[in-house]
Amino acid sequence: MKCNAQKAMCAALYMAMAVAVCCAATCTDDAMKEKIFSFVTLPSRLCGRATLDFWDELKSRKITNRSWFDGDTNRLARLICELAQTNDSKIATMMTRALGEYGTSAQLPFLYSCATNPVLGRTAVESVLRVEGVTSNSIVAVENFFAISSHDDSLETTELCIDFMKQAKEAAIDPICSSNALRVAHDFSIGENCHYYCFDRGKIRSDDSYRYSRRRLAYLRQVLLRGDLFEFQENYVTNAINELVAYPEANLPD
């Protein structure tokens, strides 16, 4: 009796697996889009109700681990890209971000076209860098986004700039691309839309030699010369300069 029950359970399990595989193989684009949409937007819909542990589990999920996924990564990326092309800014942002994880080179033209979009620009550029890394094309996309970024989003944009610099310094990056990327990052870092405190602290965390260096002193002096800092940032920059000058300045390494 026990053996028969086990056989019945196994048969039911195999049937369920077969149905899942069959459904995935025959799932229409529209049906697949519904599943993708539900998967990508679920964390947003649960926000405020999920425990921290459950939230971490949600973030670690992968569409490609789902039973309904048909194994065709090119199709998955295409459908996510189609979902991103909506007038609903919230959904468009979510799907554009998902392209950073599931997208392929085929979606790069779409992502590049969004680099100067006031709503999707930052998310699109982040996805470009995840899909393609630092290349001559992605550097242009980042530079174009920096050109249209606003002071209201300075913190998020500055964080992107810091991550961009980290990628540009990786050993596998072409030296010319790396140099161009660092130039673009530096130009942004002394502009009016940079969050100077965030940028400086980020540089200190990522480069042990930066905190007490002439490079940092020169950067802070450039920032101070702008003359348009709000009180907190002006105090921070001024105090940092004074600390470096008292090092004394002549002893600072490059």
pLDDT tens digits, 67-112: 788 889 999 999 999 999 999 999 999 999 999 999 999 999 999 9
* CA dihedral angle for residue 174, residue 175, residue 178, residue 183, rounded to 10 degrees: -150
How far apart CA 168 and CA 207 sit, in angstroms, is 13
Alpha carbon 8 to its chain centroid, in Å, reads 48
pLDDT band at 206 (very low <50, low <70, confident <90, very high): confident
Count of domains forming the chain:
2
pLDDT value at 5 more than 90: no
Give the C-alpha separation, 250 to 254, whole Å.
10
Domain membership of residue 80 (yes or no) is: yes
- Given a cut of 70, whether residue 50 has pLDDT beyond it is no
- Return d(Cα 105, Cα 110) in angstroms, integer: 10
The pLDDT, as a whole number, for residue 42 is 76
Residue 194 banded pLDDT, cuts 50, 70, 90 = very high
Confidence of residue 151 (pLDDT cuts 50, 70, 90): confident
Residue 2 lies in a domain: no
Q: Kindly state the average pLDDT of the residues 112-139.
A: 97
Whole-angstrom distance, CA of residue 191 vs CA of residue 137: 22
pTM (two decimals)? 0.81
Judgement on whether residues 67 and 176 belong to the same structural domain of the protein: yes
Which range of residues forms the domain containing residue 25? Answer: 9-208
Domain co-membership, 142 together with 32: yes
d(CA 247, CA 92): 50
Average pLDDT over residues 110-132: 97
Q: Can you tell me the distance from the alpha carbon of 191 to that of 52, in angstroms, rounded to the nearest whole number?
A: 37
Q: Are residues 247 and 162 in the same domain?
A: no
Domain co-membership, 246 together with 150: no
What is the structure's pLDDT at 54? Answer: 56
Burial-class residue 24 by CB neighbours within 10 Å (0-12, 13-18, 19+): middle
Same domain, 199 and 217: no
Instruction: Identify whether residues 91 and 188 lie together within a single domain.
Output: yes
Q: Which of 53-62, 119-128, 173-182 has the weakest average pLDDT?
A: 53-62
Which one of 33-47, 63-77, 209-223 scores highest in mean pLDDT? 209-223
Same domain, 43 and 136: yes
Torsion of CA 119, 120, 123, 128, to 10 degrees: -150
- Helices in 71-135 by DSSP H: which ranges? 73-84, 89-102, 108-113, 121-132
Q: Is the pLDDT of residue 22 over 90?
A: no
200 and 249 fall within a common domain: no
Alpha-carbon gap, residue 194 to 199, rounded angstroms: 7
Specify the pLDDT at position 189: 95
Q: How many CB atoms lie within 10 A of CB 80?
A: 25
* 169-183 pLDDT per residue, tens: 998 899 999 999 999
Query: Taking 60 as the threshold, does the pLDDT of residue 246 lie above it?
Result: yes
Q: Which two tokens stand for residue 246?
A: 């008292």
- When the pLDDT of each residue in the chain is averaged and rounded to a whole number, the result is 86
Query: CA 42, 43, 45, 51 torsion: positive or negative?
Result: positive
